[in-house]
């Protein structure tokens, strides 16, 4: 029994979250907690103050939201019991989207308030009663000072991206807020860096905090040969995949990672149709038994390709993988490390091969920061046909890039909305004309979008 009690926490079930949350987590496709979630959730659920050093992409939002959703539990009263402050409207909106996602089976009321537009609708929503409020600091204090917000029931306060809030000069609003909310509360501070101003803030703001840091794990990255190709869109990714797997001998046991279940299914179907060898797909929609069987067949060497989403990546325990192909760049940056850790054999061509479209290149830079090295890049082989970027794809990529820029810089107005028309990317400027006939890939595709 004692052994039982000391069982290591590895799954979401182990956190003793309620069924509503577990169901939402499952539906979101999160199969296993990320490292920051493993570390932070039990401590936050234990009621402690936390100073978390983690970058975007580590799963930090769910790390603080899940315990808050547990604590707030259900709709009650009129006034917010948890406040989450974020430096930008974009980040605030993203956090609220995460609450919608994870709180979907609860009746918890939440909203997001930010500047840049009139407060009328926001005030109306607040007046209906709410449990969790996500806000940018100025708008929060503005509505409080107008008497529109009652903060005396706040029991949890989160400062997300605290370093950025300091940089953006929000300290006065934060100090003001700390004066008016109840002293007895739980405080959580998240920051990407240990900026001296953040340390100063944490001393003012946190009580005996537990410091949690997700540092890049001691990784095999240095020993795995990596290569990056900038591949403009989905159809070109397929052409590129087809090109590199031609070398059957070298590419004999390949794991292909995609971001979505749909891409996993589509890539697997494509390989099957073209008869490139035995293929199995594993992702969140596949039953446990199917997954185990697929894995066993792959391990046994009967299967050449395993197409997987990150949901499945951590459970993959296969040695002798010849190559890992990142068909899409992962959402959670640490997953890059998990993914490429599946291959141990360095090949000249690179045992871990990553395809990134222009929007994904932003994430590549973040991954490079995380792994503290640059992923060597190679030009696309001239034999691979560069397919036209469809209008939808161009829009999706432009929107994605705008989104990223805006989340980094709130003053960024966004090129996307100004230029409704098609503008050429660097890829398009230098490429050959694409063949309008499709390669058979689109039989199963309605649109060429490759979006998150």
Contacting positions for ligand AMP (CB under 6 A): 30, 32-34, 37, 56-62, 331-332
- In whole angstroms, how close is the CB of 278 to ligand AMP at the nearest point? 27
Helix pair angle (60-72, 89-102), 10° resolution = 60
- In whole angstroms, how close is the CB of 330 to ligand AMP at the nearest point? 9
- In whole angstroms, how close is the CB of 161 to ligand AMP at the nearest point? 10
- In whole angstroms, how close is the CB of 60 to ligand AMP at the nearest point? 5
- In whole angstroms, how close is the CB of 340 to ligand AMP at the nearest point? 17
Q: 160: which residues sit within 8 A by CB, 6+ positions away?
A: 60, 61, 64, 84, 85, 86, 87, 91, 95, 190
214 vs 321 by CB, closer to ligand AMP: 214
- In whole angstroms, how close is the CB of 291 to ligand AMP at the nearest point? 16
65 vs 245 by CB, closer to ligand AMP: 65
User: How far is 184 from 154, CA to CA, in rounded Å?
Assistant: 9
61 vs 122 by CB, closer to ligand AMP: 61
Q: Which residues pair with 377 in a beta bridge?
A: 228
Burial of residue 179 (number of CB atoms within 10 Å: 0-12, 13-18, 19+): exposed
89 vs 304 by CB, closer to ligand AMP: 89
Burial of residue 442 (number of CB atoms within 10 Å: 0-12, 13-18, 19+): middle
User: How far is 265 from 283, CA to CA, in rounded Å?
Assistant: 9
243 vs 399 by CB, closer to ligand AMP: 399
37 vs 136 by CB, closer to ligand AMP: 37
30 vs 298 by CB, closer to ligand AMP: 30
Q: Which of 369, 370, 325, 374 is nearest to 350 (CA)?
A: 325
Neighbours of 449 (CB within 10 A): 15
- In whole angstroms, how close is the CB of 329 to ligand AMP at the nearest point? 12
- In whole angstroms, how close is the CB of 452 to ligand AMP at the nearest point? 7
User: How far is 227 from 250, CA to CA, in rounded Å?
Assistant: 16
30 vs 305 by CB, closer to ligand AMP: 30
CA separation, residue 148 to residues 12, 55, 112, 198, 365 (Å): 37, 33, 14, 30, 42
> Using an 8 Å Cβ cutoff, are 305 and 280 in contact?
yes
Q: What sign has the CA pseudo-torsion 53, 361, 26, 80?
A: positive
């Amino acid at each position: 029994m004692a052994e039982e009690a000391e069982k290591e926490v590895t799954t979401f079930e182990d956190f003793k979250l309620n069924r509503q949350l577990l169901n939402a987590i499952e539906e979101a496709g999160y199969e296993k907690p990320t490292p920051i979630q493993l570390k932070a959730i039990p401590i936050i659920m234990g009621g402690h103050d936390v100073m978390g050093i983690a970058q975007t992409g580590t799963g930090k939002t769910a790390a603080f939201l899940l315990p808050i959703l547990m604590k707030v539990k259900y709709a009650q009263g009129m006034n917010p019991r948890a406040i989450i402050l974020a430096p930008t409207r974009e980040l605030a909106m993203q956090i609220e989207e995460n609450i919608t996602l994870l709180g979907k089976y609860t009746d918890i009321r939440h909203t997001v308030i930010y500047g840049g537009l009139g407060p009328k609708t926001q005030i109306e929503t607040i007046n209906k009663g709410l449990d969790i409020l996500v806000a940018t600091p100025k708008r929060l204090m503005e509505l409080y000072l107008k008497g529109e917000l009652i903060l005396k029931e706040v029991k949890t306060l989160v400062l997300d991206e605290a370093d950025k809030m300091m940089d953006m000069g929000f300290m006065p609003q934060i100090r003001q807020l700390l004066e008016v909310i109840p002293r007895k509360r739980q405080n959580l501070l998240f920051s990407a860096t240990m900026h001296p101003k953040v340390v100063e803030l944490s001393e003012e703001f946190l009580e005996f905090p537990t410091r949690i840091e997700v540092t890049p794990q001691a990784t095999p990255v240095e020993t795995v040969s990596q290569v990056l190709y900038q591949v403009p869109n989905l159809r070109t990714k397929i052409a590129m995949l087809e090109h590199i797997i031609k070398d059957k001998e070298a590419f004999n046991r390949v794991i292909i990672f995609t971001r979505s279940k749909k891409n996993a299914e589509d890539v697997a179907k494509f390989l099957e149709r073209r008869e490139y060898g035995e293929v199995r797909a594993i992702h969140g929609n596949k039953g446990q038994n199917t997954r185990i069987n697929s894995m066993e067949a792959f391990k046994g060497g009967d299967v050449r390709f395993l197409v997987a989403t990150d949901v499945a990546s951590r459970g993959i325990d296969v040695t002798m993988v010849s190559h890992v192909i990142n068909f899409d760049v992962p959402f959670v940056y640490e997953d890059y490390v998990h993914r490429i850790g599946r291959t141990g054999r360095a090949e000249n061509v690179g045992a871990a091969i990553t395809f990134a479209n222009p929007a994904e290149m932003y994430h590549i830079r973040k991954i490079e920061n995380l792994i503290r090295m640059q992923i060597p890049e190679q030009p696309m082989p001239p034999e691979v046909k560069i397919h036209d970027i469809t209008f939808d794809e161009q829009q999706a990529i432009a929107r994605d890039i705008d989104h990223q820029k805006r989340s980094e810089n709130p003053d960024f107005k966004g090129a996307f909305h100004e230029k409704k028309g098609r503008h050429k990317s660097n890829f398009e400027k230098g490429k050959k004309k694409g063949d309008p006939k499709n390669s058979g890939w689109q039989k199963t595709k309605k649109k060429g979008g490759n979006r998150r």
